[in-house]
């Protein structure tokens, strides 16, 4: 339904003073008040045009009505609406254009429900005073700054103060609708999938369990599609496959099966991830992150009672032959030798760790000579670390881990979902607030002749 409305309004500008010092500031203040009123008028004209079309002209209403571009919030019906006048109180809507006051026209559905279609047409959440554009900006800011500072920043950017509580509510609402476990259908061949988890502080703030709450897991699966090495700093092309907060790894089952094919999966060897892969992607070769293993083997050597000063050299002695072998076969031989060495010296934890993950340290060397779709621009061999996820993990932790703060699980889930969705420009982020469309708006002075 293409409608075209035009309104013309007369603008009166005035000035009084002994001089024009401070003109700029005064004009900006005056214009800021004018701007939302101008655009509110255009929206109200559009609202009239829609209702003329759907319900018929005011004096000659259509008996059945035409199909509407909005629907009844109670019964979902799309036709059969009648005009029911205007709301007596003007509705305040905070937008990036300023604080708009709209006179809302009401319609009644055959089911008896009365509602104002304009807010629905604008994509405003039920009961919210915030426009979709402003909500998106608030959520963007809140994923980078503490809530209070996000609200302050929004004030400087848009000129109106949204309370900290409102920003918090926008994040809670948006985050609850932002489901990152839904499989994406726009990923085809993925050279490497990286899966890793981090822990964020969340849980009861008070009571018996508060002290022992260890936080919740954030699980992330990403697709590496290529590396751009033309710039000064190489940049990875990386997409979010799926993520979940405080849920078992199996929650990502459908998401990780989204891509058509995957060259190699790189993980840090967490048991939960192994279980997920056994079920969801049993046929994809698994690589244990060659970066994580160095840290983990030092940890095992510590458990074995090896002195700090000896740990690095010993870890290197055990791992270097396995990691630097030319082929997978040679790497497996080196692994046997390292396990024997560890065992002979009584490093039982280290030996066990090598037994658990060792075979997956050289998977990429075999994949390299296979027909799997591991190739990508800017890389000559399959991905074998999860390092590309580290920065993302740090960003998550920076936002949700301020000292002395503790989140409740739904709050941290909403925040992490939005942060990841925004950072990766995940499809769910674009769908959250209906802020992009094809409407064309114009403004200008009318040339007067004469």
Binding interface with Zn ion (CB under 5 A): 72, 74-75, 77, 109, 111, 113
Torsion angles phi and psi, residue 223, rounded to 5: -110, 130
Q: Shortest distance, CB of residue 76 to Zn ion, whole angstroms?
A: 7
Q: Shortest distance, CB of residue 25 to Zn ion, whole angstroms?
A: 50
> Comparing C-alpha atoms, which of 393, 397, 392, 399 is closest to residue 150?
399
By C-beta, is 107 or 252 nearer to Zn ion?
A: 107
Q: Shortest distance, CB of residue 73 to Zn ion, whole angstroms?
A: 8
By C-beta, is 80 or 358 nearer to Zn ion?
A: 80
Note the residue count of the chain.
450
> Comparing C-alpha atoms, which of 171, 178, 270, 257 is closest to residue 219?
270
154/170 Cα distance (integer angstroms):
13
> Comparing C-alpha atoms, which of 308, 302, 252 is closest to residue 276?
252
Q: Shortest distance, CB of residue 59 to Zn ion, whole angstroms?
A: 25
By C-beta, is 83 or 149 nearer to Zn ion?
A: 83
By C-beta, is 72 or 264 nearer to Zn ion?
A: 72
By C-beta, is 83 or 257 nearer to Zn ion?
A: 83
Q: Nearest 10 degrees: CA dihedral of 316, 317, 319, 323?
A: 90
By C-beta, is 111 or 176 nearer to Zn ion?
A: 111
Q: Shortest distance, CB of residue 108 to Zn ion, whole angstroms?
A: 9
Q: Is 423 exposed, middle or buried (0-12, 13-18, 19+ CB in 10 A)?
A: middle
By C-beta, is 109 or 281 nearer to Zn ion?
A: 109
- Name every residue whose Cβ is closer than 8 Å to that of residue 142 and which is 6 or more positions away in sequence: 150, 167, 168, 170, 171, 415, 418
> Comparing C-alpha atoms, which of 134, 159, 139, 136 is closest to residue 150?
139
Q: Shortest distance, CB of residue 54 to Zn ion, whole angstroms?
A: 14
Q: Shortest distance, CB of residue 75 to Zn ion, whole angstroms?
A: 3
Q: Shortest distance, CB of residue 68 to Zn ion, whole angstroms?
A: 11
By C-beta, is 126 or 403 nearer to Zn ion?
A: 126
- Name every residue whose Cβ is closer than 8 Å to that of residue 163 and which is 6 or more positions away in sequence: 151
> Comparing C-alpha atoms, which of 52, 164, 142 is closest to residue 418?
142
302/289 Cα distance (integer angstroms):
20
Cα 329 from chain centroid? 42
């Amino acid at each position: 339904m293409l409608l075209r409305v035009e309104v013309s309004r007369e603008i009166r500008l005035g000035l009084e003073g002994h001089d024009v010092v401070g003109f700029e500031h005064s004009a900006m203040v005056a214009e800021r008040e004018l701007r939302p009123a101008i655009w509110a008028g255009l929206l109200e004209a559009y609202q009239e045009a829609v209702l003329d079309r759907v319900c018929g002209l005011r004096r000659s209403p259509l008996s059945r009505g035409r199909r509407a571009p909005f629907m009844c919030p109670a019964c979902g019906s799309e036709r059969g609406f009648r005009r029911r006048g205007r709301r007596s109180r003007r509705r305040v809507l905070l937008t990036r254009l300023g604080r708009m006051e709209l006179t809302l026209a009401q319609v009644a559905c055959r089911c008896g429900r009365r509602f104002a279609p304009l807010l629905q047409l604008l994509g405003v959440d039920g009961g919210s005073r915030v426009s979709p554009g402003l909500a998106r900006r608030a959520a963007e800011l809140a994923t980078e700054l503490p809530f209070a500072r996000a609200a302050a920043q929004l004030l400087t950017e848009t000129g109106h103060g949204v309370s900290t509580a409102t920003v918090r509510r926008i994040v809670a609402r948006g985050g609850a609708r932002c489901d990152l476990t839904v499989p994406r259908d726009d990923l085809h061949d993925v050279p490497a999938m990286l899966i890793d988890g981090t822990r964020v502080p969340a849980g009861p703030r008070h009571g018996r369990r508060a002290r022992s709450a260890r936080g919740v897991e954030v699980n992330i699966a990403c697709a590496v599609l290529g590396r751009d090495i033309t710039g000064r700093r190489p940049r990875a092309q990386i997409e979010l496959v799926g993520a979940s907060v405080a849920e078992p790894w199996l929650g990502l089952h459908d998401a990780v099966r989204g891509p058509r094919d995957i060259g190699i999966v790189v993980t840090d060897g967490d048991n939960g991830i192994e279980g997920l892969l056994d079920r969801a992607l049993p046929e994809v070769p698994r690589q244990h992150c060659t970066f994580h293993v160095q840290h983990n083997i030092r940890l095992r050597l510590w458990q074995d009672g090896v002195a700090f000063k000896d740990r690095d050299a010993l870890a290197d002695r055990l791992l270097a032959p396995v990691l630097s072998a030319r082929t997978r076969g040679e790497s497996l031989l080196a692994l046997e030798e390292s396990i024997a060495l560890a065992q002979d010296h009584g490093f039982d934890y280290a030996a066990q760790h090598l037994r658990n993950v060792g075979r997956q340290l050289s998977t990429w060397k075999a994949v390299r000579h296979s027909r799997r779709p591991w190739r990508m621009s800017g890389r000559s061999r399959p991905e074998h670390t999860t390092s590309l996820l580290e920065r993302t993990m740090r960003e998550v932790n920076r936002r949700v881990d301020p000292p002395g703060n503790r989140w409740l699980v739904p709050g941290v889930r909403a925040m992490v979902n939005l942060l990841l969705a925004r950072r990766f420009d995940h499809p769910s982020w674009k769908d959250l607030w209906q802020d992009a469309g094809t409407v064309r708006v114009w403004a200008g002075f009318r040339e007067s002749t004469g």
